[in-house]
Amino acid sequence: MQTMSEQEIEQKNSVRFADLSLSQPVQDALVEIGYESPSPIQAKAIPVVLSGRDLIGQAQTGTGKTAAFALPLLSMLDAKDEGPKAIILAPTRELALQVSEAISNYGRNLKKLGVTAIYGGTDFTRQFRALERKPAIVVGTPGRIMDHIRRGSLDLSRISHVILDEADEMLRMGFIEDVEWILEHTPAERQTALFSATMPPRIAAIAKKQLKEPVTVAIKASTATVSTVRQRFIKCNGMRHKIEVLGNLLETEERDAAIVFTRTKSAASEIADELAASGHSVEAIHGDISQGKREKAVSLLKEGKIDILVATDVAARGLDVDRISHVFNFDIPDDAEPYIHRIGRAGRAGRSGEAILLLTRRDFRKLRNIEDSTRQQMQPMPPPSRELIAQIRQTKLEKQIGEIIEEGKINRERTSVTDALANLETDAETLAAALLKMLQAGKSLPSSASSSASFEREPRESRGPRGDRDFDRDRGPRRERPSRDRDFDSPRGRPERAERPERRADVPPPEADIERYRVEVGHNHQVKPGNIVGAIANEAGLEAKYIGRIEIYDDYSTVDLPKGMPKEVLKMLKKAWVSGQQLQMSRVVEKRRNHFER
């Protein structure tokens, strides 16, 4: 078994894709995408694969291994030869989908060379149809690939190339026996490439059995984590303190998109709700969320419509989003491998990133184990100070004020300020401070005498003050109503007459000092009450306690707000985004409950 040293690899860092003997259509695609220089593993793996030799690629996540096998594969396959010629096995459907999309992108100029992703959790019918089109490349998870082989819908007898991607993860997830079974259904004369971040004994044994005189390309063997990611930790005192620290970090860290990793599905949902109620654009992904909804959440993150994903390890496997600058480990994993995969979501392909771990006292043994395994020591950091938080908020405030001043449409407000200075016999600084305090207290500034009085009313006495997660005190906390935010995929989890809310006996009309509004986002958009509260509180400057009853239906929701909301605020809320949808808020006219004012 031959091994390429890291020194040999570094000598080739100046190589360009144009020097690697890739086919012209593939080179053209790389130019269109904007890629010029290969990563170290690409520089050494591509020539090996093109030569027809078997390969072991040992590299951490984020080093560009997908292109290391996809580019030469696309250069070698003949589009005229129909049927599967290459099979790529991946541990999760997220990674299978990501690899499939990457290959389609690299092969954009090879129109007849099809690629299909096959994974569990989706309907067989669509996959049958995709396989009937005889794609040249099939990417899939072991379990679903086995199902198609048994059903006769996938024939591997003419396979010439096999790629095992993230083999160590397939071992950890218990798929290795399935992988070996699949390999038995491929021809003995084939080219095989195995990629793995680590090389445990079982993976080494499979490589020895299944690969023929492989060339090993090992990248960054001196450390098990991504060197471009700065790793730090903060000491916390339990769950509530963790949530507080996380919220402060999201406010104070200079970041783009972020992933928050949790141990459990329930924690992912709870933290996402907490962050949404604080005004963050966030989605949760975990095992109980359908594949379609997970894919939509990732798309929203890529498009910049949300900035935060709260995820479990399984749900985030294969996630590759360039915008991710920060990984927050809300819960520490049990061992090093999941930790390595987590922080690899930031610092992709050489970019810098930040990984911050929130630790309780009982977590420090796990921390030491991870440090020993990765041969890297994490640096402690203090939680964001009150002074820093105040400074950040002050900067944001000044920026917002500066934007309003630059826009210049403040003549009416200037007149109001001049009158107030005269009538109140005070100075401009004191008046400005009082107005700022009003806003921070959740009181909306009046746009006219008629609208201000009712919109600034105190909330109904029966509702009272409440926290971010207790929206309907008169009907009990939301956690006791699973139909509201957990089981809405079942018919019982939705209002029976979703299109006729006025006929629901348990939803009284709003009181005299409250107005009901409709927003065009509902269960079908994965929205939760916290998302709506966060958007309204953030856009309208209204404290959560002033936001009344929220009813969520399939395609829309209703929310009760203090009467007399200024038109300017309504205009802003129409354009606000929640779960990838604009709110398009409109007032419900009480005389005709099926009519909405826009």
* Per-residue pLDDT, 500: 34
Whether 461 has a pLDDT exceeding 60, the answer reads: no
* Per-residue pLDDT, 445: 56
Long-range CB pairs of 418-422 (<8 Å, 24+ gap) are none
* Per-residue pLDDT, 70: 94
Tell me, what CATH number does 318's domain have?
3.40.50.300
Same domain, 357 and 465: no
422 belongs to a structural domain: no
Same domain, 468 and 548: yes
Same domain, 234 and 214: no
* Per-residue pLDDT, 529: 83
> CA of 80: how far to CAs of 73, 113, 139, 157, in Å?
15, 8, 20, 18
> CA of 101: how far to CAs of 225, 318, 495, 579, in Å?
26, 12, 38, 24
Exposure b/e, 509-544, CB count within 10 A at least 16 = b: ebeeebbbbbbbbbbebbbbbbbbbbbbbebbbbeb
173 belongs to a structural domain: yes
Residue pLDDT, tens place only, 408-449: 888 888 888 888 888 888 888 888 888 877 766 555 555 433
Per the structure block, which two tokens stand in for 120?
């569990």
Q: How confident is the model at residue 162 (pLDDT cuts 50, 70, 90)?
A: very high
Q: What single DSSP character describes residue 377?
A: -
* Percent of the chain with pLDDT strictly greater than 90: 29
| Contact status, residue 250 vs residue 258, Cβ threshold 8 Å | yes
> CA of 202: how far to CAs of 74, 172, 530, in Å?
30, 10, 46
Q: How confident is the model at residue 509 (pLDDT cuts 50, 70, 90)?
A: low
Exposure b/e, 124-140, CB count within 10 A at least 16 = b: eeebeebbeeebbbbbb
* Per-residue pLDDT, 349: 57
Considering only CA atoms, give the Rg of the chain. 28
What's the rounded Cα separation, in Å, for the pair 484 and 553? 9
532 belongs to a structural domain: yes
* Per-residue pLDDT, 591: 46
Same domain, 339 and 453: no
Q: Between the ranges 21-25, 264-268, 539-543, where is the mean pLDDT highest? A: 21-25
Q: Between the ranges 75-79, 234-238, 437-441, where is the mean pLDDT highest? A: 234-238
Whether 594 has a pLDDT exceeding 90, the answer reads: no
414 belongs to a structural domain: no
> CA torsion, points 236, 242, 245, 246, in degrees to nearest 10?
140
Per the structure block, which two tokens stand in for 593?
């409950």
Tell me, what CATH number does 585's domain have?
3.30.70.330
The single-letter code of the amino acid at 136 is A
Q: What is the arithmetic mean of pLDDT over 333-359?
A: 81
| pLDDT, averaged across the chain | 78
Q: Between the ranges 80-94, 443-457, 584-598, where is the mean pLDDT highest? A: 80-94
434 belongs to a structural domain: no
* Per-residue pLDDT, 475: 32
* Per-residue pLDDT, 522: 86
507 belongs to a structural domain: yes
Domain assignment of residue 152, given as a range: 2-218
Same domain, 197 and 285: no
Whether 502 has a pLDDT exceeding 60, the answer reads: no
Q: What is the arithmetic mean of pLDDT over 243-253?
A: 92
Whether 190 has a pLDDT exceeding 60, the answer reads: yes
* Per-residue pLDDT, 568: 75
Same domain, 243 and 353: yes
Q: What is the arithmetic mean of pLDDT over 69-98?
A: 88
* Percent of the chain with pLDDT strictly greater than 70: 79
Q: Between the ranges 260-274, 331-345, 523-537, where is the mean pLDDT highest? A: 260-274
Q: Range with the lowest mean pLDDT among 63-67, 519-523, 590-594?
A: 590-594
Same domain, 245 and 119: no
Per the structure block, which two tokens stand in for 151?
């059903």
Number of structural domains, the chain?
A: 3
